[in-house]
Amino acid sequence: MSEQAIGVFDSGLGGLTAVKELIKVLPQENIIYFGDTARVPYGNRSEVTINRYARQDANFLLSKGVKLIIAACGTVSSVAAGLPEYLPVPFTGVVAPTAAAAVSSTRNGKIGIIGTSATVNSGSYKKEILRRNDRITVYQQDCPLFVSLVENGFISENDEIVKLVVERYLSEMKHNNIDTLILGCTHFPIIAKAISNFLGNHVRLIDSGRETALFAANILGSSGLLNTSNHIGQCSYFVSDTVESFRKTAEIFLGKSVEDEVAHINIEQVAVQ
């Protein structure tokens, strides 16, 4: 079972930042990624809909025989709390490992959280932080336009549109003197330089993709599921919309071409049990 793939899903493309970190942390592991590009974004959907989508996405990955499932989606991790009990394989979202890293990072006890509207409204990161340390002050801000910027290629730290949107969303965080900021959506690391430029180098940005990759490595190690071969793992990508647009944008996230590794599926045909 150790040579079976890690399954990763996201509402669209943002989860590719987690895949990029998984490749760095666990280069020998095979990875199967599903991006629900036909139904993105999840962040403005109802809780019922998000849960149904999450189960369909997970069921697709299970059909591929994966040994671990990662919901590389802040929205699913925040809203679909019952998903782990539903799955026959180990599971992690992004909330717990990211919150733990933020609590360890802060020096002044002021942590900021940015994410989609659904993620912020769920309060999941805040609850997890305060569960670990109830003396921390938490500031939250939903940043829905960040997703649109990234998926449309507006990612340069020098782009005036990017700088304006960052300032609009994060001015209050800066005023409140946070020293740690959770990037609570896997799209957000793509514009991390612009965020850091605005907030200052003294603010540590917590990349949910990176922290989740490290946490996944611990899960596999403790479960005896690490792939111990000396071969570099293979990655396969599946999407629910056109593969052409995914290929182009995936290069931005991964820094490499995925030309021959992407296939289309009809996610609506996957049963929800």
| DSSP β-bridge partners for residue 263 | 238
CB 91 within 8 A of CB 17: no
Choice among 185, 220, 235, 262 that is catalytic: 185
What totals of helices (H) and strands (E) does the chain contain, helices first? 12, 10
**C-alpha to C-alpha distance for 182 and 206, rounded to whole angstroms:** 5
**41-52 as b/e, with b when 16 or more CB fall inside 10 Å?**
bbbebeeeebbe
Annotated active-site residue 185? The verdict is yes
DSSP β-ladder status, 235-239 and 204-207: unpaired
The residue among 223, 237, 180 whose CA lies nearest residue 23 is 237
| DSSP β-bridge partners for residue 237 | 33, 262
Token pair for residue 154? 């507006």
Choice among 26, 73, 190, 216 that is catalytic: 73
Annotated active-site residue 143? The verdict is no
Token pair for residue 184? 């609570």
Bond before 41 cis per omega within 30 degrees: yes
SS3 for 70?
strand
Active site residues: 73, 185
